[in-house]
Amino acid sequence: MTMIQNHCVASWWSDFRAKSTQKFSLKKIKNIFYALSPKDIAHLFYDWSFWARPEQLPPETDWRTWLILAGRGFGKTRTGSEWVRGLAEKGQVKRIALIGATASDVRDVMIEGESGILKLSPPWMRPEWQSSKRRLVWPNGAQAFAYSADEPDRLRGPQHDALWADELAAWRYPETWDMALFGLRLGQNPRAVVTTTPKPLKIIKNLMNDPTTYLTKGTTFDNKANLPKAFMEKIIKKYDGTSLGAQEIYAEILEEVTGALWSRGLIDSIQMQNAPKDMERIIIAVDPAVTSHENSDETGIVVIGKKEGKAYVLEDLSGRMPADIWIKIIIKAYKRYEADHIIAEVNQGGDLIKTLLHLHAPNLPLKMVRATRGKVTRAEPIASLYVDQKIFHVGPFPKLEDQMCRFTGEMKSASPDRVDALVWGMSELFLNERNGEFQIWSL
């Protein structure tokens, strides 16, 4: 087998199989590969063209953007990482942009993750991660630069000849994509790969309709052979047949949910880039979770301001996290925005947030509210304020807005914690219900 030393083993095997008229038995195949040298085996291990499914390899047609809309576990991150690695190792590009929803997403998923670039790179061509400079540097001089979609202005100026955008549908500032494209102007054929779970957002629809886009769609089941059986069983049992499952498993774009209090069109109509200055009131609305394991509810944390009869969602800080983390996030947000007070639901963890605030920041004002009506009944008047253009989002806030557009009052898969926090906050600013609707305590 010395004839294939220093060559791509996968390409050799593909050519050999194509030219041969033989039908190979398993024994014959084993004998061929047992004859490979250690060096050939090492090259084969890192040869993505051998291991990839056809839909994970770059299209052979002419394209400007390769858009991969796929469900969880499809192998989107692996596909993006391998595309970047292939370009860099072959010296086809010199400057690559890596953009994720947040700085930690770029580092923890795209670069250092299990399917990240460092993990997949062979020892003889592994790039160096220079964290202080936010860049990967390959032995041949190719470089990849890390950017956060939360900081669109950082992409003003830098130029690249390749771009990988991960989870574009979760980016807080869609203009980050525009800034990235303005800088994608080096080399003879600058291209971008977008790997994301689909959502019915304008930016995704525009890409799908762009004639220079090549679209690849896939589901979680496409990669079933490489996913743990327990994961598949759990995901299917919990989400199959739900709207969230249609999106996250089958990669369907959900335009509208029948009976939802908010629509995508309504959300699009109240988006704005900058909030008015000198807010009259700012509050931190909280729907606390009492646990933080993988099946726990999220802690809803929404920052809301009000001025001249209109309210503005300023930030969505919600997430699944331990109580000692979310209480610090609340305190920092209160100080950063110079908020008037914190409002939290007592039904879930009310006493906990009171205790934690006494411990960490005893002087912060807290109002605790108790629900005496159903979620839909509480949310309906807030939804009508959106229709009346009384509430605006200084965002967008993809996770909050996804939850809003799925909220029918019959959500079986997850608690609408972000929506709950939003409703409590808006009720405080607009309705200020006290008589029998909810009770308020002040510390």
Helix axes 38-45, 9-19, angle to 10 degrees: 90
Coil/strand/helix, residue 296 = coil
- What pLDDT score does 361 carry? 87
**How far is the C-alpha of 277 from the C-alpha of 32, rounded, in Å?**
71
pTM: 0.64
Q: Report d(CA 138, CA 162) in Å as an integer.
A: 15
Q: Is 389 left (phi over 0), alpha (psi -120 to 50) or beta?
A: left
For residues 168 and 100, what is the distance between their CA atoms, to the nearest angstrom? 7
**CB of 85 within 8 A of CB of 51?**
no
At residue 146, what are phi and psi to the nearest 5 degrees?
-95, 130
**pLDDT value, residue 31:** 75
Instruction: Give the Cβ contact number of residue 150 at 10 Å.
Output: 15
Strand partners, 68: 195, 216
Set out the domains of the chain in order of their start, with CATH numbers.
2-51 (no CATH), 54-247 (3.40.50.300), 264-442 (3.30.420.280)
- Give the pLDDT confidence score for residue 436 in this predicted structure: 33
C-alpha distances in Å from residue 73, one per residue of 216, 282, 427: 15, 40, 39
Tallying the residues shown for the chain, one arrives at: 443
Q: Profile the chain (443 residues) by mean pLDDT over runs of 10 residues.
A: 45 54 65 78 86 92 95 93 96 96 95 96 96 96 96 94 95 91 94 92 90 94 86 74 69 72 86 91 92 75 96 95 92 96 76 84 87 80 94 88 81 71 94 44 35
Angle between helices 323-337 and 350-360 (to 10 degrees): 60
Give the model's pLDDT for residue 201: 82
Distance of CA 218 to the CA centre of its chain: 17
Inter-residue contact 120 to 88 (CB < 8 Å): no
Q: Judge whether 144 and 99 are in contact, CB under 8 Å.
A: no
List the one residue out of 410, 421, 422, 395 whose CA is nearest residue 201: 395
- The pLDDT value recorded for residue 18 is 53
Which token pair is 332? 């920092």
